[in-house]
Homo-oligomer: A and B are copies of this chain.
């Protein structure tokens, strides 16, 4: 099974890796801006969000390719958030996935603009979808959900809360509320967009959304755990940096064992809702296993 999911991930990642820069190179825009956008898009990691989006479409019996534009738009928004997050005014990170961050290569001003450009262009990509089975009602639902997940009530709101919380001790509820917005909402959008494009019925959509919510929490706990026990070279960032920064993490609040226990509880809940969704859950289940068993 491991080989099978690895093959699936590899193929989907390749598809995303090839498609993403193509959206940018065709733009009539300043070359340096395009280079800066492509630089960070290419520095991408596992492409978890776009793959989750396409796998969700497939779980509903449709062709995952139907979601390629939306998957790329989602990855653009994820990428813009990383570029802005890394800026000196924010986390001030020089490295991401072992590579110099965008502003280290292109300067702060162009990094800000490249982020703005990716965010804006993501919506244009969805608005521009030209597919016989995707009508304007579906596109409008995608844009509304994506804007809400990425905006002040979603990811950006979570980033602000995270900023405000720096140096303060949080309760586990406060920590979870930040993560639900900062990372959870975009992950949820991946599955919800899959539900829209795969034409899920209302009950399926609801269960898939709950599946994604719990998967998102488990994913974040896993990230925090890896930051403690992970290997510096595998992760490409200094291990334990969240602890050094006095950041609030699940292991810090719950102990390592407690964090693992909480992760497993949310993984079980995710599985429960996935089953309840009554879809072809095979691949999503594999994906979940991959995400939570990974060591990087």
Contacts and interface: CB of A to CB of B under 8 A. Distances in A.
A292 interface: no
B152 A123 contact: no
A9 interface: no
A150 interface: yes
Contacts of A254: none
A24 B157 CA distance: 12
Interface in A65-111: 80, 84, 87-90, 107-110
Q: Which of A109, A119, A121 has the most CB of B within 10 A?
A: A109
Main secondary structure on chain A at its contact with chain B? Answer: helix
B120 A144 contact: no
A128 interface: yes
A29 B153 contact: yes
Interface in A143-181: 143-144, 147-148, 150-153, 156-157, 159-161, 163-164
A148 B124 CA distance: 7
Contacts of A89: 87-89, 107-109, 112
Nearest to A90: B109
Interface residues of A, number: 50
Given A136-B137, A137-B136, A140-B140, A156 B109 contact: no
Nearest to A91: B109
Interface string A112-128: 11011101110110011
Contacts of A156: 29, 33, 113, 116-117, 120
- Which 10 A-B pairs have CB atoms at the shortest separation, nearest pair first? A89-B108, A124-B147, A120-B151, A29-B152, A127-B144, A117-B152, A136-B136, A33-B160, A29-B157, A30-B160
7 contacts: A30-B160, A32-B160, A80-B116, A89-B109, A113-B160, A116-B116, A121-B152
